Amino acid sequence: MLLTANRNYRLLFTASAVSNLGDGISALAFPWLATLITRDPVLIALVAAATRLPWFLFAIPAGVITDRVNRQRLMVQADILRLLLTLGVVGLILSGPALPLPENADQAFILILGLCAAAFLLGSAEVIRDNAAQTALPSIVDKADLETANGQMWSVEQIMGQFVGPPLAGLLIAFAVPLPFAVDAVTFAIAAWCVWLIAMPARTAARLPTGFWPQMREGIAWIYAHKLILRLAIMLGVLNMLHMITLTVLVLFSQEILGLGAAGFGILLTAEAAGGVLGGLVAPRVIARIGANASLKIALGIFPLQYLVIALTTNAYVVAAALFIGMLAAMLWNVVTVSLRQRLIPDDLLGRVNSIYRFFGWGTMPIGALIGGGLVAVFEPDLGRQTALRLPFLVGGLGAVVLFIYGLARLKLN
């Protein structure tokens, strides 16, 4: 097996598993902490937007940095920075007033701004770290093993990031609000140590253009010349925007419509992660059997069903099933597209092109977060709170239908 035969891959795999456990803990802890500060959907959306805004601002510069410096050292430094920032969140909670705050408390806005600042800085470190990690993988894994490696990496990220992390965060935050953030800091320390132990193969010195902007333009020129990669990047941007429109209000939807507490919300996210685990494991086999092109179109057909089912139900089990199926489809999409990029893009351009791809694919996420919170705030007075909380899922479903039709007409991998 790849994990037992390749020590460097095993260390990278372990680092990814541990750091994604931390990400999974913070994925529940951050929005839940925001709901303890305020019930305003716009302010809660600001926290989600702050987490994803760095992908819009820094994704392309991160690619230039990744191609210019030691990728291993970059990952270690990013994880250490995330360790320090997460400890800062612990300090913010301990130095603030008792939670939950009463409605319309004067401190709410200041605390939300502090939470946004921490989320933004953590997201910035994540941009650097994730781009370097995805770029480094082809250096330690044979090209023939890329689908297997990516499937395993996506699976463990789902297991730790959503299967284990969120319910653990629910238990930790019920015991003490700062506790999940403290555990999160420990995971980043372990991840940094694992990456430091990797014997990263020496890279062939590439002759890069002189200066930041010429180097960035070289990456832009490559992706512009390869229309399939560009089209996939734009489609991913739409998918991720729709995802954030719904994810931003899912915490309020779970509390007010499904009647879930912190532990229940964590279990709901665990159901989604189970779909990701299964998707990561079976995706390489599905792709080998039916082909990459058919796999992507099947995934695109599943996405709208997920959102529309959630919009029309009040049953937590139905929501869990929809999240399970949706994440399974997302893993199928990810394994195809990530492996395709790693195979096609030259190593000396991989960091820059990968970051441009993620700029399109992830840069839309803060926009989606703000749209999700804005939809609830704007339509709540006329439609009522519960209908307004369902509206982002209807918008996500209709948008995904349009993208499915586009994919059928324009997406051709072979």
Residues 253-309 pLDDT 10s: 999 999 988 778 878 877 887 888 788 788 888 988 998 889 999 999 999 999 999
Q: What is the largest distance, in Å, between two alpha-carbon atoms of the chain?
A: 62
**Does 206 reside within a domain?**
no
Q: What is the pLDDT of residues 61-118, one digit of tens each?
A: 887 787 777 888 999 999 999 999 999 999 988 887 878 787 777 788 888 998 999 9
CA distance 168 to 162: 10
Residue 202 CB burial class (10 angstroms; 0-12, 13-18, ≥19):
exposed
**Does 18 reside within a domain?**
yes
Q: What is the pLDDT of residues 188-221, one digit of tens each?
A: 999 999 999 998 776 554 555 566 678 778 888 8
> How high is the pLDDT of residue 205?
47
Taking only Cα atoms into account, the Rg of the chain, rounded to an integer number of angstroms, comes to: 20
Q: What is the pLDDT of residues 353-375, one digit of tens each?
A: 888 888 888 788 889 988 998 99
In order, the DSSP letters of 6-19 are -HHHHHHHHHHHHH
Question: Mean pLDDT, to the nearest integer, of 44-56?
Answer: 84
Question: Mean pLDDT, to the nearest integer, of 133-142?
Answer: 80
DSSP state of 99: S
Question: Mean pLDDT, to the nearest integer, of 117-138?
Answer: 85
CA distance 66 to 59: 11
In which domain, by residue range, is 375 found? 2-201+212-410
Q: What is the pLDDT of residues 373-406, one digit of tens each?
A: 899 999 999 999 999 999 999 999 999 999 999 9
Given a cut of 70, whether residue 414 has pLDDT beyond it is no
> How high is the pLDDT of residue 363?
83
Select from 196, 317, 247 the least CA-distant residue to 44. Answer: 247
Half-sphere exposure of 63 (CA within 13 A, CB side): 28
pLDDT-derived band at 153, boundaries 50, 70, 90: confident
CA distance 183 to 281: 28
87-91, 137-141, 154-158, 363-367: least confident range: 154-158
CA distance 368 to 245: 5
**Does 197 reside within a domain?**
yes
Question: Mean pLDDT, to the nearest integer, of 334-345?
Answer: 85
What b-and-e string marks burial along 373-401, b requiring 16 or more CB atoms within 10 Å of the CB?
bbbbeebbeeeeeeebbbbbbbbbbebbb
Across all residues in the chain, what is the average pLDDT? 86
Count of positions (residues) in the chain? 414
Contact indicator for 386, 269 with CB cutoff of 8 Å: no
**Does 286 reside within a domain?**
yes
pLDDT-derived band at 238, boundaries 50, 70, 90: very high
**Does 116 reside within a domain?**
yes
Two tokens, residue 232: 């996939």
Two tokens, residue 161: 């990031």
Given a cut of 70, whether residue 37 has pLDDT beyond it is yes
Q: What is the pLDDT of residues 303-329, one digit of tens each?
A: 999 999 999 999 999 999 999 999 999
Angle at 290 between CA 332 and CA 17, to 5 degrees: 25
Cα distances (angstroms) measured from residue 177 to each of 84, 199, 291, 300, 401: 18, 38, 47, 38, 39
> How high is the pLDDT of residue 309?
96
CA distance 302 to 146: 25
CA distance 112 to 187: 25
Q: Find all residues with CB under 8 Å of 12, minimum gap 6, and list them.
A: 133, 136, 137, 140, 194, 195, 198
- pTM beyond 0.75, yes or no: no
**Does 261 reside within a domain?**
yes
CATH number at residue 220: 1.20.1250.20
Select from 178, 237, 218 the least CA-distant residue to 29. Answer: 178
Give me the helix-helix angle, 146-158 and 108-140, nearest 10°.
150
CA distance 393 to 254: 13
Cα distances (angstroms) measured from residue 235 to each of 77, 106, 307, 357, 408: 32, 42, 17, 10, 12
Q: Report how many domains make up the chain.
A: 1
**Does 207 reside within a domain?**
no
